[in-house]
Amino acid sequence: MIKSKYLTKVTDINKLYLEEVINVGDIVVDATMGNGYDTKYLAQKVGKNGFVYSFDVQEEAIKSTKKKLEKENLQDRVKLILDGHENMDKYVKEEVSCVVFNLGYLPRAKHQVITQPETTIKAIEFSLKLLKPHGIISIAIYTGHPGGMEEKNSVYEFVKNLNQSEFSVLECGFINQINNPPQLVLIEKKKEYL
Ligand code: SAH
């Protein structure tokens, strides 16, 4: 199959924005660690003086991410947290330049453990407060699994109502793909918000 060169996956499109936002030395959050690809990417981007907080409720996620980080000697700049992102306020006290969400279930693990509308919204709400001006929250949303569409609707309902003088909210997705392609929502904080 001939692959696209630029318009590939929403998670790659996401990186085009993240590249602009993340600077060396930044503090950032991976709200859904999963297999640790984003955590590793973020750890590389923030450099040795930056820091990544990464959350997941599954032991498997922590294990596989830890292994990935150790292979690249990135473990010292990352805190792997076995707790829900809805409890982010217990762990993250500093301003951050980005918070990354990749919703749904962990590929190859128990598909019953999925992100849930209520806790996802709670985590997004707290992330909005943590963001520094011009920081970004990115949310990859999947609708192909049971509960996915409900979660998408809840997230959209919430982000659609954010005040446009405080936040810019962008939706992006491949509209000609079959099988429920993921959607990406990006939120930029325009100014200070309490
Ligand atoms: N759907 C994506 C991967 C998502 S991984 C893909 O196909 O690539 C989502 C991760 O979120 C899973 O590892 C799951 O354990 C985790 N998760 C579920 N509920 C959570 C919560 N409340 N807080 C943090 N992580 C959570």
> What would the pLDDT profile of 58-75 be if each residue is shown by its tens digit?
999 999 999 999 999 999
Q: At a CB cut-off of 8 Å and minimum separation 6, what does 41 contact?
A: 15
Q: Which residue minimizes the CA distance to atom 13 of ligand 1?
A: 34
CA distance 30 to 52: 7
Please give the mean pLDDT across all residues of the chain: 95
Q: How far is CA 58 from CA 35, 43, 85, in A?
A: 10, 20, 12
Q: Measured from the CB, is residue 130 less than 6 Å from ligand 1?
A: no
| Most ligand 1 atoms within 8 A of CB, residue of 9, 10, 29, 32 to mutate | 32
Assigned domain for 157 exists: yes
Pairing, β 183-189 against β 78-82: unpaired
113 CA to middle of ligand 1, Å? Answer: 8
Which of 2-11's residues contact partners 24+ apart within 8 Å by CB, and which partners?
A: 7/174, 9/182, 10/140, 10/172, 10/173, 10/174, 10/181, 10/182, 10/183, 10/184, 11/102, 11/140, 11/182, 11/184
Assigned domain for 95 exists: yes
Domain containing residue 101: 4-189
CA distance 184 to 194: 25
Q: At a CB cut-off of 8 Å and minimum separation 6, what does 146 contact?
A: none
Q: Measured from the CB, is residue 85 less than 6 Å from ligand 1?
A: yes
Tens digits of residue pLDDT in 81-117? 999 999 999 999 999 999 999 999 998 776 789 999 9
Run of H or E residues at 193: none
Q: 90, 77 in Cβ contact below 8 A?
A: no
Global confidence as pTM:
0.95
Q: How many CA atoms lie within 13 A of 133 on its CB side?
A: 6
Instruction: Give φ, ψ of 122 to 5 degrees.
Output: -60, -45
Sign of CA dihedral 55, 66, 37, 93: positive
Tell me, what CATH number does 148's domain have? Answer: 3.40.50.150
pLDDT (average), residues 27-32 = 98
Assigned domain for 44 exists: yes
35 CA to middle of ligand 1, Å? Answer: 9
More confidently predicted of 46 and 3: 46
Number of domains in the chain: 1
Q: Measured from the CB, is residue 36 less than 6 Å from ligand 1?
A: no
Assigned domain for 194 exists: no
Assigned domain for 127 exists: yes
